[in-house]
Amino acid sequence: MAIDPTFPDPRSLLPADRPIQLLDADGTFTEDPDWPIDLDDAQLAELYRLMVMARQIDAQAITLQRQGQLGVYASLRGQEAAQIGTAFALAAQDFVFPSYREMGVALVRGVDPADLLHVFRGTWLGAHDPAKHRFALITISIATQALHAAGFAMGAKLDGSDSCAVAYMGDGATSEGDAHEAFNFASVFGAPCVFVVQNNQYAISVPLTRQTKAPTIAHKGIGYGMPGYRCDGNDVLGTYAVMRQALRHAREGNGPVLIEAVTYRMEAHTTADDPTRYREDTELEQWRARDPITRLEKFLRDRELVDDEVVETVAQAAKAEAQSVRAALYDAPHGDPMELFSHVYAEPTQQLRDQHELLQAELQGQDA
Amino acid sequence: MGAVTLAGALNRALHDAMDADDRVVIFGEDVAELGGVFRVTDRLKERFGEDRCFDTPLAESGIVGTAIGMAMYGYRPVVELQFDGFTYPAFEQITSHLAKMPNRSRGTVQLPVVVRIPFGGGIGAVEHHSESPEALYAHTAGLKIVAPSTPSDAYALLRASISSPDPVLFFEPKRRYWTKEDVELPVTTEPLGEAVVRREGTTATLISYGPTVATCLEAADAAAEEGWDLQVIDVRCLVPLDIATLVDAVEGTGRAIVVHEASVFGGMGAEIAAELLERAFYSLEAPVLRVGGFDIPYPASQLEHYHLPDIDRILDAVERSLAF
């Protein structure tokens, strides 16, 4: 694969001193000529609708877990702007490689949230067709999907296509070797790839200060010769603007971009976690004041794009959607055990055919 | 007919596969400019250009992980991990993703990726360059594991591996890279998962794959002088394993010895012995014996000949089998 044999000017790669922010915690909008947005009123309202829906389905998923309908669930609460703002900037031909916390991104891509939650129910290991919405299966082993994104982007470059690959990951993932290798491969090959790191401050219980000594995660970009953009991850207009620019940079053949969206995981790591053992309520309160949905709602009200009636309509629609997700999952049948052997290889081997028969006999024995 | 080396046959197979399908791309460490440290990818970059054969940063997980992403895009990557002992950085990508993604996607994602791995000892190399880790990968559901022993098989099985919709780990017997065979390439590609009888015999069956098939054939020649008529079977594919051919053989001879370089504990020999015990119990005149490397970390090169199974160790096992 052709490479650019020059080394970049380091001054072009460092993040700004302060996180990029267009919408502050009070919902006040400040235009930034370096980070333009192109959203019309309908799109602004759509961002709001998606964020409210993500939060509502997220809450429903936690409820379903508490009721024994899901085995476990990893909440995105607090990260709606980081996910939906960045995903909203994607083009149809782009391909997303998510971790396991990206239900907000999935919603923007049109993936049925019930399909994602079937994975947490344990119905199947994966329940949606990645090609259909250009959204890969969720990846649980940390940072490994970053390499799939880099490889996909290398393929896009070889093919002369204008699609970008996007890997989503958390702050903890940046400590993994695969994140390093993915950043490096994408940059060496100038592949159209964007790495979106949602810095939600914790990897389960371990805080950012134990993950890295880099000034910020965005500063890591310079080590790979790619720009690092750092933004307020709770500002959906900021995350959108930053992603828009990153995708343009990658699509125009300039190689990958590393985005750090500074946010906070408002819930436990997963429903199996107890965050009271490692963080204080006061910290949670500080972040609650920076809530991504509250500030967008304030902004939209100030612009008279939403009022009480619209807010209520959006809330009701989100509740209805969450209810339909609940209906799809509640007591949903588990996978067919006879399918366990069907997809290990394109054609089952003799050994798998034998084991298929063995399981069938075991099940018939139970029925008899 | 011309004499073709095993490395040359692999090179020809890569060449012909790239010629036949422009989605086949080759990458890894030193594969392009250098042509591979064993020259298996020699001149492919010149012939097909740097988009089809290129060098990567030195990172094995990166090589396999990006191969997965490129396969998801629609390419058919054939990547090289330079030595057996350097596959471990890629272990997670191989076992957690390459092996599993087709299954976890319920067949909607296929990963036609071939990972080429020069394996085994006997070349006087430094540490980490002589290992036989095939059982680690054979134990992982979702991978096909291929290990040819002859130039014509190297060609045929590599073509079949590249055509396979499933991910394949292709173990190349590095000390046999320069073995020659009079053969006209291309030979017909055979499906993966069929063992072959290399030598007919009636006294006992030697079962092997990769670099020790030749050792078994030499042992059979030596045994003929003793009046023993040894059958030799080349397994060729460890996954899927052609148990039917092995059972047939043992039903004929009643005695089997599995030979490989890898440590015997938990190795392929244990698996094959267990299968034969289950399926050919009443045909067996003696327990299935295993001949392999000791259960030690691969030794320093000046001591490796003590570790590697040789003709004497194989014939001693035949004698023990016959003594039952």
CA distances from B244 to B194, B196, B198, B237 (A): 9, 11, 16, 13
User: Does B24 share its domain with B154?
Assistant: yes
The SS3 of residue B303 is helix
Looking at the domain assignment, is residue B121 inside a domain?
Answer: yes
Identify whether residues A278 and A301 lie together within a single domain: yes
All residue ranges of chain A with pLDDT < 70 are: 368
Q: Are residues A353 and A250 in the same domain?
A: no
Q: What is the CATH number of the domain that holds B28?
A: 3.40.50.970
Q: Are residues B113 and B212 in the same domain?
A: no
Considering only CB atoms, A182 lies closest to which of B65, B108, B193, namely B65
Residues of A in contact with B50 (CB under 8 A): 1-2
Number of A to B CB contacts under 8 A, please give it: 147
Average pLDDT of chain B is 97
CATH code, domain with A209: 3.40.50.970
Residue A320 lies in a domain: yes
How many domains are contained in chain A? 2
At B171, is the secondary structure helix, strand, or coil? strand
pLDDT of residue B80: 98
Same domain, A182 and A119: yes
Which chain B residue is nearest to residue A167, measuring alpha carbons? Answer: B69
Task: Assess whether B172 and B232 both reside in one domain.
Answer: no
- Mean pLDDT of the region B185-197: 93
In chain A, what residues touch B241 (CB-CB under 8 Å)? Answer: 351
The verdict on residue B189 lying in a domain is no
**Residue A217: inside a domain, yes or no?**
yes
The 10s digit of each residue's pLDDT in B147-169 is 999 999 999 999 999 999 999 99
The mean pLDDT value for B75-82 works out to 98
Residues A266 and A350 in one domain: no
pLDDT in tens, B265-322: 999 999 999 999 999 999 999 999 999 999 999 999 999 999 999 999 999 999 999 9
Residue A359 and residue A244 share a domain: no
Residue A4 lies in a domain: no
Residues A168, A203, single domain; the answer is: yes
User: Is residue A169 located within the same domain as residue A259?
Assistant: yes
Residue A5 included in any domain:
no
Asked whether residue A248 is domain-assigned, the answer is yes
**Catalytic hit among B15, B129, B260, B307:** B129
Q: In the listed set B183, B218, B253, which residue is the last one of a domain according to the structure?
A: B183
Q: What is the CATH number of the domain that holds B224?
A: 3.40.50.920
For residue B188, tell me if it sits in a domain. no
The amino acid present at B236, given as its one-letter code, is R
Instruction: State the smallest CA–CA distance between residue B188 and chain A in angstroms.
Output: 21
Separation of alpha carbons A51 and A295, rounded Å: 12
Residue whose C-alpha is closest to residue A228's, from A270, A188, A259: A259
User: Does B108 sit within 8 Å of A151, measured CB to CB?
Assistant: no
Which residue in B has a C-alpha nearest to residue A157's C-alpha? B51
Question: In chain B, which residue's Cα lies nearest the Cα of A137?
Answer: B105
Q: Are residues A223 and A352 in the same domain?
A: no
Q: What is the 3-state secondary structure (H, E, C) of chain A?
A: CCCCCCCCCHHHCCCCCCCECCECCCCCECCCCCCCCCCCHHHHHHHHHHHHHHHHHHHHHHHHHHCCCCCCCCCCCCCHHHHHHHHHCCCCCCEEECCCCCHHHHHHHCCCHHHHHHHHHCCCCCCCCHHHHCECCCCCCCCHHHHHHHHHHHHHHHHCCCCCEEEEEECHHHHCHHHHHHHHHHHHCCCCEEEEEEECCEECCEEHHHCCCCCCCHHHHHHHCCCEEEEECCCHHHHHHHHHHHHHHHHHHHCCEEEEEECCCCCCCCCCCCHHHCCCHHHHHHHHCCCHHHHHHHHHHHCCCCCHHHHHHHHHHHHHHHHHHHHHHCCCCCCCHHHHHCCCCCCCCHHHHHHHHHHHHHHHHHHC
The tally of domains found in chain B comes to 2
User: What is the pLDDT, as a whole number, of residue B190?
Assistant: 78
| pLDDT at B282 (0 to 100) | 97
Q: Are residues A355 and A321 in the same domain?
A: no
Q: What is the ipTM of this complex?
A: 0.97
B150 and B11 within one domain: yes
Interval B222-236 mean pLDDT: 96
Cβ distance B72 to A136 less than 8 Å, yes or no, reads: yes
Q: Is residue B161 part of a domain?
A: yes
Q: What distance, in Å, lies between the first and last C-alpha atoms of chain B?
A: 45
Q: Are residues B275 and B241 in the same domain?
A: yes
Least confident of A127-131, A181-185, B34-38, B92-96: A127-131
- Same domain as A359, residue A269: no
DSSP 8-state class, residue B21: -
Contacts of B71 in chain A (CB under 8 A): 151
Instruction: Spell out which residues of chain B touch residue A336, defining contact as CB-CB under 8 Å.
Output: none
- What domain range is A368 assigned to? 339-368
Residues of A in contact with B73 (CB under 8 A): 151-152, 154-156, 159
Whether residue B55 lies inside any domain: the answer is yes
Q: Which of B149, B183, B217 is the last residue of a domain?
A: B183
Whether B159 maps to a domain, the answer reads yes
The confidence score (pLDDT) of residue B226 equals 85
In a shared domain, residues B176 and B226? no
Tell me the pairing of strands B196-199 and B230-234: antiparallel
Note whether A184 and A267 are same-domain residues: yes
A2 in a structural domain:
no
Q: Is there a single domain that holds both residue B279 and residue B309? A: yes
Residues B130 and B179 placed together within one structural domain of the fold: yes
Same domain? For B150 and B200 the reply is: no
Output the six-digit token pair for A110: 């049109």
Please say if the pLDDT value at position B189 is more than 90: no
Q: Are residues B202 and B318 in the same domain?
A: yes
Residue A332 neighbours by CB under 8 Å, 6+ apart: A118, A121, A123
Q: Give the pLDDT of residue A368.
A: 63
Q: How far apart are CA B36 and CA B39, in angstroms?
A: 5
B191 belongs to a structural domain: no
**Which of these three, B132, B160, B183, is where a domain ends?**
B183
A71 and A146 share one domain: yes
Let me know if B260 is a catalytic residue. Answer: no
Q: Give yes or no for residue B1 having a pLDDT over 80.
A: no
- Identity of residue A102: E
Q: Could you tell me whether strands B204-208 and B230-234 are parallel, antiparallel, or unpaired per DSSP bridges? A: parallel
The domain of B226 spans 196-323
**pLDDT higher than 90, residue B245:** yes
Distance CA A263, CA A198 (A): 7
Q: Distance from A314 to chain B by nearest Cα, in Å?
A: 33
Residue in chain A lying closest to B64 (CA): A147
| A240 part of a folded domain | yes
d(CA A214, CA A29): 30
Is the N-terminal amide bond of B240 cis, ω within 30° of 0?
A: yes
Test the B interface: residue of A169, A345, A352, A358 with most B CBs within 10 Å: A345
Of A295, A304, A284, A258, the residue nearest A21 (C-alpha): A295
Residue A3 belongs to some domain of the structure: no
* Cα–Cα distance, B127 to B130 (Å, whole number): 7
Amino acid at A181: E
Q: Same domain for B165 and B18?
A: yes
In a domain, B147, yes or no: yes
